[in-house]
């Protein structure tokens, strides 16, 4: 660019043009313009008045090898994943890869920006920011040829810590009992629970408020009574809006995609064991982009150092040991 000069430039494009057009000697021109002979000779030998590009002639990484760069470029072209997802997938294969070196590599090869695809853009907003202790609860039925069972699932919106239990049905007594287990298992206080309008969590909309006297005596649905007993606010999703409880819905789908949809199980007990193993791996070994590539357990430990008053026990006691 002709209008941009290097920070230490002693000449302007006009002076450079005059040097190139002059018939005087280099010594006379150097004396007239207050320059060195080498500077005058340099500009008289050029045909343009623009500054030459700085840096290496062939840009390359000082961190990554040519093979590693080729691997990154091909991975990006084949997957079209965002930068952070590429970093999460490749950092185990390329330990010295950092976010900045990855970005520079993609910039050098002209693939730093993904092609826009409006059809894949989500029109739904993100969940509102909250503090740890906001738990989404949902139910999913898992089936095999040998039978079926109901899986209750709870996942924290902030830490992504997940807990599951298996029941024979989705009755309200099982829903209340599962909530008691969640309160006991989670190492910190739960302040809000979000569920759908299923019978395990709430009365049917048409039956709510029909008997105020009975609700005053018995305290309403048993799930609500457990919430009140432990100082938990119970929120319900809007009917026919399952994405409102998307955290639990997505985790349910993830569990099914990792277990029952890809493996054959001889019996229900084998399926239950695999689901529990997957949830344990999710809590203690899976690095999630939503929590800055921490595991849910690391996110809990991080919250424990900042707000220890909301914890019932040291979360490090949750680490799986040789006896569990």
Span 240-277, pLDDT tens digits: 776 777 888 899 999 999 999 889 999 999 999 999 99
pLDDT value, residue 177: 95
Span 159-182, pLDDT tens digits: 999 999 999 998 899 999 999 999
Span 93-131, pLDDT tens digits: 899 999 999 999 999 888 888 776 655 545 555 666 788
Is pLDDT at 1 greater than 50 in this prediction?
Answer: no
Query: What is the value of pTM for the model shown?
Result: 0.63
Closest Cα partner for 265 from 110, 97, 147?
147
Q: Which residues of 248-277 are buried (b: 16+ CB within 10 A; e: fewer)?
A: bbebbeebeebbbeeeebeebeebbebbee
Q: Which CATH class is domain 134-318?
A: alpha beta
Is pLDDT at 79 greater than 90 in this prediction?
Answer: no
Span 8-36, pLDDT tens digits: 677 888 888 889 899 899 999 989 889 99
Is pLDDT at 76 greater than 50 in this prediction?
Answer: yes
Residue 260 DSSP class? T
Per mean pLDDT, which range of 2-16, 84-98, 202-216, 264-278 is the poorest? Answer: 202-216
Span 227-236, pLDDT tens digits: 999 999 999 9
Residues in the chain: 324
Q: Is the dihedral of CA 301, 305, 309, 312 positive or negative?
A: positive
């Amino acid at each position: 660019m002709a209008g941009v000069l290097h920070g230490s430039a002693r000449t302007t494009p006009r002076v450079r043009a005059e040097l190139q057009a002059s018939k005087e000697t280099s010594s006379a021109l150097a004396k007239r313009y207050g320059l060195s002979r080498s500077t005058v000779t340099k500009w008289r030998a050029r045909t343009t008045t623009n500054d030459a590009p700085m840096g290496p002639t062939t840009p390359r990484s000082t961190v990554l090898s040519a093979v590693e760069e080729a691997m990154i470029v091909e991975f990006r072209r084949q997957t079209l994943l965002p930068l952070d997802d590429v970093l999460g997938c490749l950092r185990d294969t390329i330990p010295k890869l950092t976010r900045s070196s990855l970005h520079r590599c993609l910039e050098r090869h002209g693939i730093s920006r993904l092609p826009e695809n409006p059809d894949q853009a989500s029109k739904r907003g993100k969940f509102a920011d909250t503090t740890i202790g906001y738990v989404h609860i949902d139910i999913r039925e898992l089936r095999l040829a040998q039978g079926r069972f109901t899986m209750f699932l709870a996942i924290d919106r902030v830490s992504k810590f997940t807990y599951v239990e298996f029941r024979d049905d989705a009755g309200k007594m099982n829903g209340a009992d599962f909530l008691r287990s969640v309160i006991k298992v989670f190492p910190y206080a739960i302040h809000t629970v979000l569920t759908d309008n299923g019978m395990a969590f709430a009365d049917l909309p048409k039956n709510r408020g029909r008997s105020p006297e009975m609700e005053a005596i018995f305290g309403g649905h048993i799930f609500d009574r457990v919430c009140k007993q432990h100082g938990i606010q119970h929120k319900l999703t809007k009917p026919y809006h399952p994405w409102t409880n998307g955290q639990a819905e997505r985790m349910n789908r993830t569990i099914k995609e990792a277990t029952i949809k890809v493996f054959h199980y001889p019996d229900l007990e084998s399926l239950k064991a695999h689901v529990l193993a997957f949830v344990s791996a999710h809590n203690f070994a899976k690095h999630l982009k939503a929590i800055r590539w921490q595991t849910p357990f690391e996110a809990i430990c991080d919250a424990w150092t900042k707000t220890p008053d909301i914890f019932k026990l040291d979360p490090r006691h949750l680490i799986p040991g040789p006896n569990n």
